[in-house]
Every structure is written in structure tokens, then in C-alpha cells.
Amino acid sequence: MGSIAHGLLAAVTLVALAAEPQPGDYTQNCTTASCHGDLTKRPVVHDPVRQDSCDACHEAEDGAEHGFTLTTDAQELCYECHDDPEGANVHPPVAEGQCTACHDPHGAAVKFLLTAPTVSEVCTDCHDELLEDLAFLHGPVAAGACTACHNPHASDLSSLLKRESVKLCTACHETIANRIGTLPHKHPPATEDCTTCHNPHGAGNKMMLNASPPDLCFECHDDIAELAEDATVKHDALTIKKSCSNCHDAHGSTSEHLLSKKPLELCLSCHGKSVKSDGRTLIDIAQKLEDNPRRHGPVGEGDCATCHSPHGGEQFRLLAGAYPSTFYSPFSEDAYALCFTCHDVEAFEDEETDELTDFRNGERNLHFLHVNRETKGRTCRACHDVHASRHPKHITDNVPFGAWSLPIQFVKNENGGSCAPGCHNQYRYDRESPVTNIPKP
């Protein structure tokens, strides 16, 4: 910058360029064909130059030499005709009167008498590190239009900005503004400052994000960062492809929790096919729901996240509460905490009952009989499907016994029912008239 100021001072004494000037004569017309004629031939000529009013800015030093000084101090010269810049924050080169760092006082190839063909070339002459290493440049930056956002001289806003933060961006990104405006759930930072997430100039990625999710999101959501980091059971949905953006819309959403799709659709967008992971294959949940019209309460509500922790957790299958992972398990209320957040544990606690459960033979509680054991208690999956089934009471088609899958053949009738799994012969139960079943020989 100092060098530019010196350049200006040096120019105060101009040495003759024209051939054989006649002493005292040269102030009459400076732009003849043989003298400074080129000054008026550029595509954009400064008004006083076009008027041949060289003396608006230059005056002869003395009559004997073809030497000129500027009429005023270089820092003040332009203000003779132009107003002071308006704004609380003045761009340093402007404050220092270095108008000619960006403008040619005589004429230029482009409008505004700029010293380079595009605004950005003018700017990056000094801000040479700004766009370094940016793989993707923002549209207006790539077009060289720094002044789409910045005032080159001064502004009341910080960073010489033309508009306040969100308005700066939505002046062009109207569709984003219109969309966020109509959404019932808005992400607070997207209503406050777009640049908390986007670099206005460009970035290493196409969306110009300051960092990629999840790191971008963890800057503010450190609780989720901790949860995901500490989880013994992790969900790959947080690490594959777009990470958090697989499920959340960072601007806003019609769904609660800024979900990018309706909750059920969201989970099925990945679990609408079987998913291979760590040598096992998770079933296609969409297919399951299509084949089995009776959906379990929360599944029917489309609320997968009441039972599964989408960000990771401590329980197998990302379950939100305890549930045994095995076919057999000792019984305790805690071991089935997940089911007992919504269902009554009493149905499993008394050996005899005439009301706590319909799964009884007379007063003999068959839930107690099967489930409430110190060692080989059968877990709910032996008889129920937690997602959906074709049978009443969410009875499953098949008992998942190790590598086997045994048809359960459940039949329900008015006072009870029957089943014939691989575990025993067809057994019946009847709440009104208890049945005596014959065990396998």
C-alpha cells in the first residue's frame, strides 16, 4: 500500500512525453494525435479527461519545463469532485486516499475505470490469499462479482457488506428464503446467519460448507458428538454418505427435529432394502411392512425412533431401552425395559391370573409360564413380531430358533387359541374352559 502512495507522489512531477513541446504552449491541448491522444481512446474515459480538462488535476510546475504537479494532494484530489465514502467502516485503501489502487484516473478498458478487467482481479491484487485452495468457487465469486456482496469503499456493516447476513444471501437465493419462510420447523442458525455453515467465497466442497457434517454440526451439537462417539452400538447412517444430512435438513423441515423426510419414509429410505453389515444381513423393513398389514402401535404411527436411537446407543439393534438379544433369557422387569415402557409388567409376574393377560389357560398365566424363568425364559420374539405381522396380537409367523425358523401356526379363537411350533405339539389354551394338552412322548 505504501508503494502505491509513493507512486502517486512520484507522479506529481511528470516528465515530458510529447515530442518537442513549445514552452508555455502545452497546457492548451494535451490530447493531440502526437501527444496524450491515447488517453481519450480507451473504451471508458474519465469525464474530465474526455473534456480535455487535464488542468482539473494537473498544473504546470513552471513555464520552462514540461512538468506537472497534481492540483491537490493526491489523497484529496478525487474528493474535489466526488463525495466522501459513506459508512462507519471505511475500506483501508479508501481511507488512505489510494483511489488509484483500483481506478485509473484517465480511462480504462472496463466501466468504473477499474485497473483490471474484473472486480475480483482488482481485489485479489491485495487479497491474494482469499481464494487460494478453494476447489469450488461460489457463483458470484467465480463471476468476479465481489461487489455483489461488498461495497468497495465503505459500509455501516462489518466486512464492508452490502446487506445484513441472511438478507445478503437470500437477495439471490430467493427459493431458499421462501422455503425456510414457510417451514414450521426452522433451524435457528439458518434464520440468523448463513455463513455459520457456508463460506461465502467458496470451499473444498460443492456446497461451500465450512466443514462437512458431522464436524460442521458437532460445532454446536456437542451432546450428539459425545453420544455418537461413546456409543457401543453405532449407526452407520451417521458415517456414510452425507452423515447428519442423511436424516436432517440443515435449513428447516416440515417434520419435527428437522427430519429431511417424514419419519417412516426416512428410515425406509435406507431400510427399504436388506442391509449388509458386519457379516449379517438386516431384513428389508419396507418389505416386512408390505407383507404384514398389522403394524405394531408405534410402527403404525411411523415412529421408529421411540424404540431405536438413531444416533447410537448402548443396546443391541440401537434399541432405546433394554431388550434381551437372545432367544432365552432370565426374566426381570429391567431386562425388558423397552417393552414395559408401554406395556404392563404385571402380565408376566403372577403365575395365576384371571385378568392381567389374555394369554392364559383358565387362570394359568401362559406369559408367566413361558417368559418368567430364572434361566431359559423365552423372550417375546419367540411369539411376537415387534414390527408387523399378519396375525392378531402381533403373533409372528415363525419362531426364530438359531439358524432355524419354525412356523408357529397360531390360530386365535374367541376364548383362546392354539399354536403348533417346533417346540411342542399343537397346544391350545382357553380362558373360559381350560384345556389339557398332551406333551410329546
Q: Can residue 399 be called a binding residue for ligand HEC (CB under 6 A)? A: no
The yes or no reply on residue 342 touching ligand HEC (CB under 6 A) is yes
Type of residue found at 125: D
Burial of 352 (0-12, 13-18, 19+ CB in 10 A): exposed
Strand partners, 352: 364
State which residue, 194 or 292, has the beta carbon closest to ligand HEC: 194
Q: How far apart are the first and last CA of the chain?
A: 102
Q: Is position 224 an interface residue for ligand HEC (rule: CB under 6 A)?
A: yes
Strand pairing of 388-389 and 294-295? antiparallel
The Cα 293–Cα 390 span in angstroms is 6
- Closer Cβ to ligand HEC, 384 or 390, answer by number: 384
Smallest distance from the beta carbon of 76 to ligand HEC, in angstroms?
9
- Identify which of residues 292 and 395 has a Cβ nearer to ligand HEC in the complex: 395
Give the range of 18-26, 39-47, 59-67, 433-441 binding ligand HEC by CB under 6 A: 39-47
Of residues 286-305, those binding ligand HEC (CB under 6 A): 296-299, 304-305
Does 147 interact with ligand HEC (rule: CB under 6 A)? Answer: yes
User: Pick from 27, 69, 269, 418: which binds ligand HEC (CB under 6 A)?
Assistant: 269
For residue 178 the three cell numbers come to: 421462501
Cβ proximity to ligand HEC, 64 vs 206, nearer residue: 206
CB of 292 to ligand HEC, least distance (A): 12
Alpha helices in 66-164 (DSSP H): 74-77, 92-95, 119-124, 139-142
Q: Name which position in 5, 116, 134, 148 contacts ligand HEC (CB under 6 A).
A: 148
Buried b (16+ CB within 10 A) or exposed e, 250-281: bbbbebeebbbeebbebbbebbeeeeeeeeee
The amino acid present at 70, given as its one-letter code, is L
Closest CB 318 distance from ligand HEC, rounded Å? 4
Q: Which stretch binds ligand HEC (CB under 6 A): 20-28, 59-67, 99-107, 433-441?
A: 99-107
244 binds ligand HEC (CB under 6 A): yes
> Is the CB of residue 420 less than 8 Å from the CB of residue 429?
no
Q: Which of 21, 63, 181, 188 binds ligand HEC (CB under 6 A)?
A: 188
376 touches ligand HEC (CB under 6 A): no
Neighbouring CB atoms inside 10 A of 314's CB total 14
- Taking the complex as a whole, the smallest distance from the CB of residue 111 to ligand HEC amounts, in Å, to 4
Cβ-in-10-Å burial (0-12, 13-18, 19+) of 24 comes to: exposed
Interface with ligand HEC, residue 203, by CB under 6 A: no
Among 65, 314, 350, 358, binds ligand HEC (CB under 6 A): 358
Binding ligand HEC (rule: CB under 6 A), the pick from 19, 34, 184, 206 is 206
The CA distance from 171 to 189, in Å, is 18
**Number of shown-chain residues binding ligand HEC (CB under 6 A):** 174
Query: Cα 17 vs. chain centroid, distance in angstroms?
Result: 61
Among 16, 81, 135, 435, binds ligand HEC (CB under 6 A): 81
Dihedral angle at the C-alpha atoms of 388, 394, 396, 401, nearest 10 degrees? Answer: 100
Q: Are strands 360-361 and 364-365 parallel, antiparallel or unpaired?
A: antiparallel
> Quick check: 435 binds ligand HEC (CB under 6 A)?
no
CB-nearer residue toward ligand HEC: 219 or 349: 219
Asked if 216 touches ligand HEC (CB under 6 A), the answer is yes
**Shortest spacing between CB 193 and ligand HEC, in angstroms:** 7
- Closest contact distance (angstroms) between CB of 83 and ligand HEC is 8
Is residue 109 a contact residue for ligand HEC (CB under 6 A)?
no
176 near ligand HEC, rule: CB under 6 A = yes
CB–CB of 57/69 below 8 Å? no
Check residue 15 and report its DSSP letter: P
Smallest distance, Å, CB 148 to ligand HEC? 4
Nearer to ligand HEC, 23 or 71 (CB): 71
Q: How far is CA 236 from CA 232, 240, 242, 319, 417, in A?
A: 12, 6, 11, 15, 42
Query: What is the distance between the alpha carbons of residues 247 and 261, in angstroms, rounded to a whole number?
Result: 7
Q: Can residue 371 be called a binding residue for ligand HEC (CB under 6 A)? A: yes
Specify the residue, 150 or 292, whose C-beta has the smaller distance to ligand HEC. Answer: 150
Q: Does 178 bind ligand HEC (CB under 6 A)?
A: no
Contacts of 68 (CB under 8 A, 6+ apart): 12, 13, 14, 58, 59, 60, 61
Which parts of 40-59 interact with ligand HEC (CB under 6 A)? 44, 46-49, 52-54, 56-58
Q: Is 350 in the site for ligand HEC (CB under 6 A)?
A: no
